[in-house]
Amino acid sequence: MVFYVKQGKLPESRHTYDNRNELRREELFGEDSFEGAYSLLYHLNEPTRIKSFREVKKDVEKKTDNLYMHRHLKTGSLDRKGSIVDGKQTVMMNDRIKIQILKPKDHSEDTFYRNALYEMLFFIHEGSGKMVSPMGILNFSQGDYLYVPKGLTFRLDYDSPCYILIFQSMDDITIPTRYLNRYGQLKEGTPYYSRDIRVPVLQKPQNNKGSFKIFIEYEDRFIEEEMDMNPLDVEGWDGYLYPFAINVSSMAPIVGKLHMPPPVHETFSSKSMMVGTFLPRKFDFHPRSVPISYYHNNIDVDEFLFYSSGNFMSRKGIEPGSITLHVRGITHGPQPGAVEGALGKEGTDEVAVMIETYDHLWLTDTGKKIEVPDYNMSWYN
């Protein structure tokens, strides 16, 4: 993240103690070994105090697809399943990214979870709840993006049935560098501001005994750790690495006299993808503008869209929860009649999440099961 956060009680200087009779256990929570963004957490107890370890094998998601076409998937037909540990359903992937749907079955999760390999970016399509981590409580609701750094221990509690889109990325997901000034502050003219970003609120540290399980996810296995002291034992933390949330309703779309291309909708970026958000907005104000996308051929990227709410006027048969994938090299654009239908329209209420990936995305078996056949012929029929 780009700004410094400090919460709770901290020693006066890092790597020191204030009272030798009340020693706190300092943990550096950081990325890129000791080179990347980090925070310092002060635990009441040693975070290494693990009573038992167990290895649990898991299914490895595979790119089972070999069709190179534009695709349409309806994630609405996926069943509710499990928890953050065992309920993420991967529908598309490449070697750096997994795209998943989480529709958890239970209201709250009694185990903690940590992803050892991937950053996670959640988009809350439906429902609300809270992420509980040693850094505090972060509430989330429909329309939120929720960023979860690699290696964060957390649990999810749901207030209502949730339906969540998840991007798992091996590469850091950050605020686009071009949005930041030389002090790291979000510039004027960007679609959101630092004030719109919510961070966890640290709670009173827990010092109770019990059985606390943490599932740490790797590619083909979990390591299940059992602690006998509550992991929510942080008395204070400070730094630049923490989960955060931002709601699409607080974002300000960039609009213009003529049609604006996808980079103006950029929200986050990483080495392997660009994340953008199509927000409710006024259309282009030239009196004879065509207020809809032109035909294009995404050389160098695959274009993924998740349709969350509103009226998706350029596409037939799209419903909330639909995903389209438009692959590089094959032209796509408005479907027959869409341009004529758009002329004279003044705005849209759509909310859709886009990613452009620099490597091709392939469907998994789960993705293929929810595919709408012959989408690639929908411009002809």
Tell me, residue by residue from 288 to 307, as one string, x for binding to Fe ion by CB under 5 A and - for no binding: ---------------x----
Of 155 and 265, nearer to Fe ion (C-beta) is 265
Q: Closest approach of Cβ 336 to Fe ion, in Å? A: 16
Residue 352's closest CA among 251, 272, 225?
251
**What is the spatial order of strands in the sheet that 119-126 belongs to?**
244-247, 144-148, 119-126, 163-169, 97-102, 88-93, 362-363
Residues 303-332 that bind Fe ion (CB under 5 A): 303
Of 198 and 259, nearer to Fe ion (C-beta) is 259
Six token digits for residue 329: 């090299």
**Rounded CA separation 17/223 (Å):** 32
Q: Closest approach of Cβ 303 to Fe ion, in Å? A: 5
Of 235 and 303, nearer to Fe ion (C-beta) is 303
**Rounded CA separation 276/264 (Å):** 8
Q: Closest approach of Cβ 125 to Fe ion, in Å? A: 21
Q: Which residue is nearest to Fe ion (CB)?
A: 303
**Rounded CA separation 306/318 (Å):** 10
Query: Are 240 and 147 a contacting pair, CB within 8 Å?
Result: no
Of 303 and 371, nearer to Fe ion (C-beta) is 303
Dump the DSSP string for 274-322.
EEEEE-SEEPP-STT---SPPPB--TT-EEEEEEEES--TT-TT--TTE
How many amino acids of this chain bind Fe ion (CB under 5 A)? 1
Q: Closest approach of Cβ 326 to Fe ion, in Å? A: 5
Of 61 and 303, nearer to Fe ion (C-beta) is 303
Q: Closest approach of Cβ 138 to Fe ion, in Å? A: 32
Residue 311: CA count within 13 A, CB half-sphere: 10
Of 266 and 303, nearer to Fe ion (C-beta) is 303
Q: Closest approach of Cβ 333 to Fe ion, in Å? A: 7
Q: Closest approach of Cβ 295 to Fe ion, in Å? A: 9
Residues 80-109 that bind Fe ion (CB under 5 A): none
Tell me, residue by residue from 253 to 292, as one string, x for binding to Fe ion by CB under 5 A and - for no binding: ----------------------------------------
**Rounded CA separation 200/140 (Å):** 10
**Rounded CA separation 233/219 (Å):** 29
Of 115 and 348, nearer to Fe ion (C-beta) is 348
Residues near Fe ion, by CB under 5 A = 303
